[in-house]
Amino acid sequence: MKTYTIFVPYEKKEDAFKYLKESEMLSETLQDEETREQFKAKIKISDSPWEGCDVLHIQLRSGYIGEGWYVQILSREEDEEEMTFFESKRLGARRGHMLRSMIAESETEDAEKKRVMEEELKQRLQWKKKIVKKILED
């Protein structure tokens, strides 16, 4: 007979019993006390043992509910983890990619600097033309 723990997000036993209804199928996360593995499963709980059941500890926010609860795991819901596979590249190819990306980044920064400098020069030229025009008019 294995021992499992279920966490119920309530502080009072009464609220937990409303949430965990006996003999109803629930989908909850259980923790195996022996291995500490957590898994989601469809379960039935009861306060009396029957064939094929395991011991259940119910944990509230404020502590544990006393012994005497049992759980039957009807089915485990396996998590389908997404796996990403990376293609291994030779060191030379990786270095080449790094250099190309650094050069491209440098070129975009240089282009931005050039654009800003051209704008500033245009503004200065317009300002100087205004001053010359005012001087010639006076």
Among the listed residues 79, 51, 56, 53, the one whose alpha carbon sits nearest the alpha carbon of residue 67 = 56
Q: What's the average model confidence in pLDDT over 54-60?
A: 87
Taking 80 as the threshold, does the pLDDT of residue 133 lie above it? yes
- Give the β-pairing of 26-32 and 38-46: antiparallel
User: Cα separation of 34 and 64, whole Å?
Assistant: 17
Q: Which of 82, 11, 20 is nearest to 47 (CA)?
A: 20
| Predicted local distance difference test score (pLDDT) of residue 112 | 92
pLDDT given for residue 26 in this prediction = 84
CB count in 10 Å sphere of residue 69? 20
Q: Judge if pTM exceeds 0.95.
A: no
Q: What is the mean pLDDT of residues 70-98?
A: 75
Q: How many CB atoms lie within 10 A of CB 8?
A: 17
How does pLDDT run across 94-131, given as a tens digit for each residue? 677 778 888 889 999 999 999 999 999 999 999 999 99
pLDDT higher than 80, residue 16: no
Question: Looking at residue 125, what is its pLDDT?
Answer: 96
- Nearest CA to 9 among 32, 35, 34, 29? 29
Residue given tokens 């404020």 in the structure block: 62
Q: How far apart are CA 7 and CA 1, in angstroms?
A: 20
The pLDDT assigned to 85 comes to: 72
Please enumerate in sequence order all residues whose Cβ is within 8 A of that of 61, keeping only pairs 6 or more positions apart, or say none.
Answer: 9, 10, 11
